[in-house]
Structure 1
């Protein structure tokens, strides 16, 4: 456990509050006592130590920048249920008035089952339909936010019908469901979808089926057999596709996109999640649109400067988005403690426009950009 002293000369009378956009006619959330330490629970040892440290650095940066005189205590929850329980109990014993964390999804779910007696801002989302205790709030970097942003961006360009290729497993299922749900809100639909096995380079058969090229070839084969003669043939993709969505890392996207082009996807807009972007341009993926947080998309403003400065920290360079999550976690926790957030409110954060969608969950509204060889084009529109 780490006690972090705050030294300011002179200290401000009150910490600088985050700017909250107030929704009209919404019910206020319960007010929380501002006295007592804030406990930050993170897995600072074990497999997740490096990403957790990036969150810690972002939280501390925001804490100091705000001139916050409240006591902050940091607890290592490790990677086991026993360590989590021990750190949580110690935080309560030492008078924690507000808990921020934990970071990992399994730990957040376990903490929820303990029904904490103080407010919690979890740094990950609980599964839909699961038990959510009173005053258990959730923020995180859910990929579903990026899928919904892609659907919004496509709809703004009057792109209504998509084919989607996502990896096998829970992540791909969640992203696909979020994309499909938001597209339906805009009157769009996914006309075909498929899942691919990560680590397998050749996905030609799957992509040919998605694009309708396989069906085109089959129709030609049947026609050839019926006529008994060979005919000139150029396989065509299905005509009802407006854009392609690919859930992939940059290394996978570099393999998948040429296969899409081979199967007649040239000329169609392609979308992906933020996994394709590491802060640098990419000639092989030029033109690919992705949706990401302001902390990554800002190229000239204050966030870009902070990202550059933070990248020199040993624990932040590989995890800039988690650093941004730490910053936003502080802003949300501070606003909650003052009773300054209500259902329907929004807060302009480093990870996105944070929107209070229901009584416990914060979603992010993101912008999209296009990769270029020398960086990104973060302008509006397609």
Structure 2
């Protein structure tokens, strides 16, 4: 006998798998609050959330998914991490229960398992296209030596090739000391070499005029700009601030080099306090909707939410939207072409398990940020 998709009270039961204990408990709690807020706003009478603690552990996540499905869950929201998602996918797949996972790892996406978090590639494509439209042709990248940095770098290479640009430089740095990577990227010694040669030649004259000339060159000479028009920085927080501060030291200035960032910049409202980041472009979810969600979250819970709380809101809102229209979660109903609207704007789940989101193009200003191009409101507009 097939397992019922709707409980006796007429509600769709949605498992919510989160790390509610352990080192990531605070994030898990914020995500639980975000999902709960979605139901308060649009579906408390149609969806029953079933929170389950994974502790961030793949084995516990699989056991939590199995328990929730045995209790009647028609959809699984979560878990948070890629390793957990791989374990949950096996359990849910065997029961034919769809999963809306919160990981950012696109490798976990597959039919039946949708990655609803912000994927690295679409925001990268958005800023690369904008930079190319503004005249950039030569691109460079400076990324951290971690999984996110590698994902962003690979996406950047593809995006640059697709817009007809050229990757001229790329560097990977360790978090402990980015200085050597920035120096290599800047080719500082090579760009300065002709000036140093002129200074040495003037001093070699051994005259007062030669010394005067050397001092003048030292004072007035300008190092030529780098051999790239746009530079992607794939970091956030204090680490991004530290990396950006090194750029002018090696004469990488904006302009002439357009600094590009990732959605990690959206979590840095004071990014403009770092002069090297002023004028940087990044793509992120609908700014107006995100700000409205953050205000609503602060009103309800007294704290500012991490962006993943908005992702949890979106997943719960998708379940509520289906329940409200009398639909049960399935591959067909989850991938409807018009998509859904959540805290982070419009989102559409694709048959391969990835997602598409409407993204704003945003510029860092000294006093905050400025939306250069607003996010689309419908999926018949351009989507990256």
Q: Shorter-chain TM-score category? A: 0.7 to 0.9
Q: Greater share of helix residues, 1 or 2? A: 2
**1:337 equivalenced with 2:328 (yes/no):** yes
8 Å contact kept, 2:18–2:53: yes
Query: Aligned match of 1:274 in 242, 263, 267?
Result: 263
Q: RMSD over aligned Cα, in angstroms?
A: 3.2
- CA-to-aligned-CA distance 1:65-88 (integer Å, 9 cap, x gap): 213423322111223334223312
Per the alignment, do residues 116 and 237 of structure 1 end up closer, same or farther by CA in structure 2, a change over 3 Å counting? farther
**Residue equivalent to 2:230:** 243
Match of 1:96 among 44, 53, 73: 73
Q: Secondary structure at the match of 1:79?
A: coil
Q: Partner of 1:46: helix, strand, or coil?
A: coil
Alignment of 1:1-382 (within 5 A): 33=5, 36-67=12-43, 68-114=45-91, 115-117=93-95, 118-126=97-105, 128=107, 132=110, 134-200=111-177, 203=179, 205-218=180-193, 232=217, 234=221, 236-237=223-224, 240-266=227-253, 267=255, 268-278=257-267, 280-281=269-270, 282-284=272-274, 285-294=277-286, 297-298=287-288, 303-312=290-299, 317=304, 319-333=305-319, 334-335=321-322, 337=328, 339-342=332-335, 345-380=338-373
Q: What is the distance in 1 between the residues matched to 2:354 and 2:152? A: 18
Please give the per-residue CA displacement for 1:185-214, whole angstroms capped at 9, x wherever unaligned. 11123210101111326x1x4323323333
Structure-2 residue corresponding to 1:23: none
Alignment partners' CA distance in 1, 2:311 and 2:154? 24
TM-score (norm 2): 0.76
Q: Distance in 1 between matches of 2:177 and 2:186?
A: 19
CA shift, 1:167, in A, is 0.7
Any stretches of 5+ residues in structure 2 without a counterpart? 206-213, 375-384
Q: 1:135 to 1:253 in 2, by over 3 A?
A: closer
Distance in 2 (alpha carbons) for counterparts of 1:180 and 1:82:
36
CA distance in 1, matches of 2:316, 2:66: 22
**Quick check: 1:43–1:76 contact (8 Å CA) kept in 2?**
yes
Per-residue deviation, residues 285-343 of structure 1 (Å, max 9, x unmatched): 4322222222xx32xxx6534312312555852x4312211121123334473644436
TM-score, normalised via structure 1 length: 0.77
Q: In 1, are the aligned partners of 2:142 and 2:233 still within 8 Å (CA)? A: yes
The separation in 1 between residues aligned to 2:87 and 2:152, in whole angstroms, is 24
Distance 1:341 1:98, change over 3 A: closer
Cα distance in 2 for partners of 1:70, 1:76 equals: 19
Using the alignment, how far apart are the partners of 1:247 and 1:70 within structure 2?
Answer: 38
In structure 2, relative to structure 1, the CA distance for the partners of 1:255 and 1:239 (3 Å cut) is closer
Larger relative contact order (Cα-Cα within 8 Å, sequence gap ≥ 6): 1
CA contact (8 A) 2:109 2:353 kept: no
CA radius of gyration, larger in: 2
**Counterpart secondary structure, 1:151:** helix
Q: Is the 8 A contact 2:149 2:235 kept in 1?
A: no
- The number of aligned residues is 340
Range moving further from structure 2, 113-122 or 306-315: 306-315
